[in-house]
Chains A and B, each alone.
Chain A
């Protein structure tokens, strides 16, 4: 019972079985049509034979008289042809039997117009027969018919053949369903084994791909592709967590060592140590805030508050905001801004991103730097470009800037989170961030979908 239920719970088995049932029903319909057609043709031929014989005998009576007819019937019954099926009966006007091989019987009136089926007694044996009656001008009656015994046997043969066929078809259907299920189960087993392995934590498992180029091979390849991507992402996450852990542990260790050292100092000297610890913790908290900020942007939650942002005004405002900083270090910010430039987005995030770029440009450009800011339309994009004339970034490092904690110059102050944050903001806006060698210096381009 349990096994049956399990079998039924197999989709392959159910599919095959349902399909088999469909085939069986179709076959049944076709075979019954075949049966009725065959039987119908046989009966039609019998009826035709009866009519032809009857007319011939009536013609014999008209031309040669009753005695000749009697003789004819006797001859026919004795000639050894169809003797086991043919039925003749000639009655005189009084209804008495003159010649024939069945007992006299009463026929319905319809029998004079068409062949009817009746139960008769022929040669002492009860049998079904097709019969037709002809009334003769002298008041007598001629019955011509055919015993249906053979017909019945043939019908039985065809019927049982169909029956056995149905049984065999049913067995084959069930067997086929089992085989089908087995085959499908075998193909799926590979997928299942792999998934179980992955669930257990082994992300490197892949589904073996058979040489057959079928639906399963394609499905397996697609699943493997998905697993590759998943593993890649997991590696990325692991890398990020490792980097974060490393970058947080270092200052934590420094703070801890500092505090331990302070502990052993005379009370009067502890103040400076504590102040240093507080400063270090504040710095750590800044790193935390920045990481959380990036995570928040990456979560996409802020996309809900997107609205049209006047980029032209924003860029002009940020340039003005940074101008005093530039002047302080003898640098110049030159800007070319297309009026009316706008994009859908979060004004504060975009301002923060631009601030990061300007910060970097001034930081790496150093004193006397020339920073060029431009904002313009290019196709469907609103582009913001910040270019400095600092030392620039090695081609090898161009790929890596923008990842968390990566810093081109570790001697300059910073956490290596600025461009990572810019990158997250740009991604959130569905834009692209591109770094290029400005020879000298770095050119950063933000392209945002135009509003």
Chain B
């Protein structure tokens, strides 16, 4: 079970996040202010810290991240903020945050990003080969095959599949895909990503009894043998 620390002064918001994450199988604790947040983040082991930027007594959440990092803590931190300007986002990431989400956000978006961060922090060698069921991906050769048959993928389609593969078993949102695969940060017409996925699906899943690319309604997509629990 993953342990999650939520540093957020708005009690209702904190409860909302905590309850949602508990349903997904996280063990959650809430710290209502920066001082307690920092001390608990330092003294206990966590898999992820969700940090609000605006804390009581004019504490900037970013200073907590900076302190954590300077003390050698590498716990993944997801920064929540009502400040959405691009430079604020850049500042959040520069301060040592691992991801940045602007309020208001959909809970599904938060959950997907937390899952991705927790997963990324798990130790594991950098893999050149990834596999899921009979789907194989070679990052070095930039080649993919399913059931031993090579897939003809465009470079962008390969990046898309590689990202899904790296997050296999998790839900990834459209915004996450847009950021990671295309490096764009704007609100896309949902339709565009859907079309890209549907083309990829045509190449990966067509003619196979077992679909690997799943649509998670209202949230995004998941590459998995079975639709992950979190997405049901």
Contact = CB atoms under 8 A, between A and B. Distances in A.
Interface of A: 279, 282, 285-286, 288-290, 292-293, 296, 301-302, 304-305, 317, 320-322, 324-325, 328, 346, 348-349, 351-352, 355, 359
Instruction: Report, nearest first, the 10 A-B pairs whose CB atoms are least far apart.
Output: A352-B186, A348-B185, A305-B87, A324-B195, A325-B195, A359-B189, A301-B85, A351-B184, A348-B186, A305-B86
Interface in B47-76: none
B187 A304 contact: no
B87 A296 contact: no
Interface residues of B, number: 22
Contacts of A289: 104, 187
Contacts of B182: 317, 321
A109 to B, nearest CB: 95
B132 interface: no
Contacts of B189: 355, 359
B141 to A, nearest CB: 23
A322 B192 contact: yes
A369 B173 CA distance: 30
A285 B189 CA distance: 15
Contacts of A288: 104
A70 B191 CA distance: 138
B196 interface: yes
B84 A355 contact: no
A355 B86 CA distance: 18
Nearest to B188: A355
B180 interface: no
Given A321-B192, A324-B195, A305 B90 contact: yes
B142 interface: no
Nearest to B102: A289
B2 interface: no
Report whether over half of chain A's contact residues are helix, strand or loop; otherwise say mixed: helix
20 contacts: A279-B218, A282-B218, A285-B104, A286-B187, A289-B104, A302-B86, A305-B87, A305-B90, A317-B182, A320-B156, A322-B192, A324-B199, A325-B191, A328-B198, A348-B86, A348-B184, A349-B186, A352-B184, A352-B187, A355-B188
A328 B191 CA distance: 11
A293 B85 contact: no
B106 interface: yes
Contacts of B87: 302, 304-305
A282 B218 CA distance: 9
Given A305-B86, A348-B184, A351-B184, 15 more contacts: A282-B218, A288-B104, A290-B187, A296-B84, A321-B184, A325-B191, A325-B192, A325-B195, A328-B195, A328-B198, A348-B185, A351-B186, A352-B184, A352-B186, A359-B192
A279 to B, nearest CB: 8
Nearest to B90: A305
Interface string B74-98: 0000000000111100100000000
Contacts of B191: 325
B177 to A, nearest CB: 12
A321 B194 CA distance: 12
Nearest to A288: B104
A382 to B, nearest CB: 19
B85 A296 contact: yes
Contacts of B184: 321, 348, 351-352
Interface in B181-226: 182, 184-189, 191-192, 195-196, 198-199, 218
A286 B184 CA distance: 18
Contacts of A302: 85-87
Nearest to A301: B85
Nearest to A356: B189
Contacts of B199: 324
A20 to B, nearest CB: 57
Contacts of B84: 292-293, 296
A355 B85 CA distance: 19
Given A317-B182, A321-B192, A322-B192, A293 B187 contact: yes
Contacts of A301: 85
A292 B85 CA distance: 11
Interface in B137-187: 156, 182, 184-187
Contacts of A320: 156
Contacts of A322: 192
A302 B184 CA distance: 16
A346 B85 CA distance: 11
A292 B82 CA distance: 11
Contacts of A328: 195, 198
A285 B105 CA distance: 9
A322 B178 CA distance: 13
Nearest to B191: A325
Contacts of A279: 218
